[in-house]
Amino acid sequence: MEGVENGGKATQCPNCSAAVVLSKSAQKKVLKQQRWEAKKAEKKAQEKEHKKREGERKRKEWEETLASLSEDERLKMIESRKSLRKERMDKRSEERDRKTERLTRAKECGQKIVIDLEFSHLMTPSETHSLVQQIMYCYAVNGRSREPCHLWLTGCKGEMGTQLRRLPGFDKWSVEREDGSYIEALESEKNNLVYLTADSENVVDDLDRSKIYIIGGLVDRNRWKGITMKKAEEQGIQTAKLPIGKYLNMCSSQVLTVNQVVEILLKYLETKDWKASFFQVIPQRKRLQAADDSSEEPQQQKVEGRGKSEEKDDDQYERPFAVTSTLLQ
């Protein structure tokens, strides 16, 4: 075959008799992903073994401590430990109840934020997995927030839906899940839909509770620039961008993750302060300096809401791909 002669590698398609030819670039991507998955599996095994050893060490120390005590002292220590354990369990139960109460209230009157998952057909399964990890983190952050949003996940079908359903407890998440698009799910509120995109000329000065803000989810490696703006224009819905450029300058080629975009919105709901929200969420490495309010407005940097940076301070779910949530500024 021509592809093989030119350096391509032929692999057998599982659903057909024909061979699929991978380019050198595609081969490198496959190998990179395989190495990453192998490294991840190895790290997970090491963490599991370390946890097992720590458990055994603590159990041995406990047994040795009990053995050195008198019968009365041993009973008192065992009772004290039981009491501390019960206290921790009660505290966790109270925290779960408070979280449930906040999320229930958010469903009734909270700011609606939609993560648009209709781009799964443009992504590989591995890229989709990367985005799913970001969504998991978004849900966790929302649950911890003092002012959680009413979170919607739309387009939960195909490979995206399959991977989401694999998440432990996903069916019990306090979110709205829709297989269809947000246009279908929120048809009666189309006039209130606002797609966040840096290509928009409109700047969000304040979050409007009557509006529904949409964040696009796409792992694209810069393949689909401007896709969210184009989609919004075709659907005839409003667009806007966050006022990041008013408060700080971004390093070139740096991007925001999906969870960072959601977290910025959550911080603003709590503080009503964009600058504080940006500085609390955006890692310092991504900032050149704060914008000087007394000087001319800094040149606007295109900040893409993507989910897989390579920084330690972003979070454990942010490897190895970049996840486009929306082009924000």
- What six digits make up the tokens of 33? 């992903």
Pairing of strands 9-12, 193-196: unpaired
Query: Cβ–Cβ contacts within 10 Å for residue 54, how many?
Result: 10
What does the alpha-carbon distance between residue 34 and residue 177 come to, in Å, rounded to a whole number? 31
Other C-beta atoms within 10 Å of 223: how many? 11
User: Among the options 116, 220, 314, 315, which is catalytic?
Assistant: 220
Largest CA distance in the chain: 83
Q: Rounded to the nearest 5°, which phi and psi values hold at 226? A: 75, 10
20 strand-pairing partners:
11
The residue written with tokens 């893409």 in the block is 304
Distance CA(93)–CA(99), nearest Å, equals: 10
Element (H, E) at 285: none
Q: For residue 113, give both structure tokens.
A: 């934020």
CA distances from 3 to 9, 12, 24, 29, 288 (A): 7, 14, 10, 17, 45
Residue 97 identity: D
Catalytic status, residue 220: yes
Pairing of strands 303-305, 218-219: unpaired
**Helix pair angle (258-271, 274-281), 10° resolution:** 140
Under DSSP, is residue 123 helix (H, G, I), strand (E, B) or coil?
coil
- Please, which residues bridge with residue 231 across strands? none
The catalytic site residues sit at 220
